[in-house]
Amino acid sequence: MKGKALTSLYNLLQVRYTHGRPHVSDDNPFIESWFAVLKGRASFPEYSGDIHQARKYVESLVAWHNGQHMHSRLDYLTPDQMDKNVGGPIQEHRNKAIEQARAQRPQLFGSRKLQLRVPTKVRLALHETVTYN
C-alpha cells in the first residue's frame, strides 16, 4: 500500500487514500463501509468469470450507490442529488407528503415531528467533514 508505483497511480487518478494501523482490519471506516455495501447486495456474485466481468459489476454498483441508494447521512438523498443541488425540492415534496399523512392519521406518527432537510455538511470520519454548496 505504500509502494511508489501504487502511490503514483493514486495521485494520477486523484484518489485519496488512507493507511490504517497494522493488524487492525476495521481501522479504515471508508473502505469497510464500502465493502459492507458491496458484499451486502443481493446481486453480489460468488465468483467472477474474469476481470472484465468483475469491473462491470463494480461499475454498476457504483452507479447504483451514487444514483439510487439513499444515504441516511444525506437525510435520504443520493450523492448524485447532492451534487446536482436538487435536494431542496425533493425534501420539500417529502415534507409535504409527511404532513398530509400526519393530518390524515396522526395516531401513526406519535409526538415526534420528522422534518427532512438538505444537509450542508456531512461528517465522514472522526476528523473529516464534507461541505456541500
Model pLDDT for residues 5-59, shown as the tens digit of each residue? 888 888 888 877 766 666 666 666 777 777 787 788 878 787 788 899 888 888 9
Q: How many domains does the chain have?
A: 2
Whether 83 has a pLDDT exceeding 80, the answer reads: yes
Considering the domain architecture, whether residues 126 and 115 belong to the same structural domain is answered as yes
Contact 38, 44 (CB under 8 A): yes
Strands of the chain (E only): list them: 121-125, 128-131
Of 79, 89, 91, 88, the closest CA to residue 115 belongs to 91
Domain of residue 31, residue span: 22-69
Residue 126 lies in a domain: yes
Same domain, yes or no: 90 and 40: no
Best CA proximity match to 76, nearest among 95, 59, 63, 52 = 95
* Strand, coil or helix: 129: strand
Let me know whether 78 and 129 are in one domain: yes
Residue 61 and residue 85 in one domain = no
Whole-structure pTM value: 0.61
* Helical spans, DSSP H, in 41-86: 51-67, 79-83
